Structure 1
Amino acid sequence: MEIHTGISERQRGDIAQGLSRLLADTYTLYLQTHNFHWNVTGPMFNTLHLMFEQQYTELALAVDSIAERIRALGFPAPGTYGQFVKLSSFKETEGVPDAQEMIKILVTGQETVVRTARGLFPIADEVNDEATADLLTQRLQVHEKTAWMLRSLLE
């Protein structure tokens, strides 16, 4: 069935492609954060274990929202590790770094997702896709705040 929302199929496809990259970055960050939650050690264990849990829980909800927006635009959402690896802007960290390095890695991951989301704004703005712009704004707020909180632990 055709979609008649005021945004052409090509434009919706461009937005869906950008959202697919955002989904891949968010899912990769989710996996990394969950891994660090399981494996963190040291004097900051309790603080980081709980913080990482809050962060990966929020990311799990985010991937659902992003995927549902892709579907609302009329396109399939990527959902395999292989697709995410191809679409993601960053790679997972192998092994188990120390707690300080985990924090640095997660700051970089949060900032990567911010850049991916920010890069999609011009496409959404061009076609007045307020729903995608709203989703992007919400994601920017969460990731910028999380990056700030993580950076604060390093000072």
Structure 2
Amino acid sequence: MSILSITGIEPAHAAKVIESLHQLLADFQVYYTNLRGYHWHVRGPQFFTLHAQFEKMYDEAAEHADDIAERLLQLGATPENRFSQYLQKSQIKEQTGVSCASEIIPQILDSLKVLIAQERKIAALADEAGDIATGDLISDLLDEQEKSVWMISALLG
């Protein structure tokens, strides 16, 4: 007996949601790694504030990646765990050695733009599939990330 036969989600609809969740997982994993790098490498007058903020952000990103992977499992899929595959699939490109806040902040906003666009796509697919649980997960991610965009934009003035 399959998980979907019990939950009542149509396999054809679930396949589209699953494919998009795999994409989102890859994007989150690269985003997480970039945030770790920003945390380690940031320099300058805002060091203490940004160093702490980047740690908070990568902790949240790691938790979200775990939530996405668990949702994939709940839909009967197997989440990818190889970073080599994430790098091939992710729309977010890995960054390294960036230490200046004026370079880091726009990169974070660009990454959030990618994540938000992917999440909006998944929200529509989940709605079409009647997949309320995925929709709720994505809604929570969107709420948090849109707040982050607002706060980061306020930092920029």
TM-score range, shorter chain: over 0.9
Q: Aligned ranges for residues 4-43 of structure 1 at < 5 Å? A: 4=5, 5-43=7-45
- Residue number in structure 1 paired with 2:144: 142
**Which whole-Å deviations, capped at 9, do the CAs of 1:97-121 have from their partners, x for residues lacking one?**
4111101111111121011100112
Q: Which of the numbers 86, 90, 93 marks the counterpart of 2:95?
A: 93
Aligned-residue sequence identity (percent) comes to: 37
Which whole-Å CA distance do the structure 1 matches of 2:146 and 2:113 have between them? 7
Q: Which of 27, 45, 56 does residue 54 from structure 1 map onto?
A: 56
Instruction: Give unpaired runs (5+ residues) of structure 1.
Output: none
Compared with structure 1, are the counterparts of its residues 67 and 87 closer, same or farther at alpha carbon in structure 2 (3 Å cutoff)?
A: same
The answer (yes or no) to whether the contact 1:100–1:154 under 8 Å persists in 2 is no
- Aligned with residue 69 of structure 2, among 67, 70, 89: 67
Distance across 2 between alignment mates of 1:66 and 1:37: 23
Amino acid of the structure 2 residue aligned with 1:128: G
Unaligned 5+ runs, structure 2: none
Matched with 1:130 is: 132
Distance 1:109 1:147 in 2: 10
| Conserved? CA contact 2:32–2:62, under 8 Å | yes
Partners in 2 of 1:19 and 1:143 — Cα distance?
A: 17
C-alpha RMSD over aligned residues: 1.2
TM-score, normalization by structure 1: 0.94
**2:2 corresponds to which residue?**
2
Normalized against structure 2, the TM-score is what? Answer: 0.93
Give the equivalent residue in structure 2 for 1:112: 114
In 2, Cα distance between equivalents of 1:37 and 1:97: 9
